[in-house]
Amino acid sequence: MTTITVRSVRAMIYTIIYLCTLARVAVANVEKLLFIGPAPSQILNNNPTLSSLSIHHTLTPDEPSIRTNLDRIFPSRQSLAPGESSWVLLTNLTENRRYELRICWSALEPTSFHMESYILEKVLQNAQLLKSINTYSASRRSDQARPMSVSEISNSSSALLVEVRATADYFTDVKELMSNPRPVLVDLILDPFLLNVLPQSLLPTAGYLILLCITTWFMAQWIATGLRSVAGPVEAQAKKRN
């Protein structure tokens, strides 16, 4: 009968401790937007309205993340759509593939986000959306990053425009912070799904959990075998005494 040894138990314990150290601890908030890649737009050629639209934040599957500051305001009763608008261009998407757009920000900067995605045709048909994009582009002219014109998108590319509304969600006795909230530092992350089921960024986590479960199962089997090997002789001695 196989017996358990101190060396094998110690090796398994060290393995589990090592796997636990690979887990990352994060203190942050996350807001998500799930969407399906739309069909390529047919209105990109020679459209003067599109040529005037410039977006400073662009995400693609090849460049899926950026870190930037987004302006925010306190909610107002006069505003039907609360929050300061920022715009993100998602391009080079795959039609009918599921994606996830995440906004990650520090828990030390209380903020509420609301995201809404629009196909290009929808934006061109809505004067308020066009005005919002132009206002946002004008406010970001001091950015060092080169803005991307919507007209630069290839006709064969699937693209979306995402409006991000940021609302300050705190209270303080400092009047300056209540009247003029500071911009919030965020990470914008575009995450495609594998087989439209699992976000690509979760693949290492899934592998880690599977490895941890397998290791724990083998350790449990070894411990059980060792306990049975110890209990067997004790039971035999008890029978002889009886």
Dump pLDDT digits (tens) for 203-230. Answer: 887 787 888 788 888 878 877 777 777 6
Q: Which of residues 218 and 4 earns the better pLDDT score?
A: 218
* Half-sphere exposure (Cβ direction) of 122: Cα atoms closer than 13 Å: 10
Band the pLDDT of 179: cuts 50, 70, 90.
Answer: confident
pTM of the model: 0.73
Which whole number is the average pLDDT over 148-171? 80
Angle of helix 203-241 relative to helix 6-21, nearest 10 degrees? 160
Asked if the model's pLDDT at residue 232 lies above 80, the reply is no
pLDDT tens by residue, 99-133 = 999 999 998 899 999 999 999 889 888 999 989 99
pLDDT tens by residue, 20-69 = 665 555 556 899 999 999 998 776 655 666 666 778 889 999 999 999 99
Question: What average pLDDT does the structure give for the chain?
Answer: 80
Asked if the model's pLDDT at residue 78 lies above 60, the reply is no
Task: Tell me which amino acid residue 69 is.
Answer: N
Residue given tokens 């206002």 in the structure block: 135
Asked if the model's pLDDT at residue 156 lies above 70, the reply is no
Model pLDDT, residue 237? 64
Give the 3-state secondary structure of the chain.
CCCCCHHHHHHHHHHHHHHHHCCCCCCEEEEEEEEECCCCCCCCCCCHHHHCCEECEEECCCCCEEEEEECCECCCCCCCCCCEEEEEEEEEECCCCEEEEEEEEECCCCEEEEEEEECHHHHHCCHHHHHHHHHHHHHCCCCCCCCEEHHHCCCCCEEEEEEEEEEECCCCCCHHHHHCCCCEEEEEEEEEEECCCEEHHHHHHHHHHHHHHHHHHHHHHHHHHHHHHHHHHHHHHHHHHC
Model pLDDT, residue 1? 42
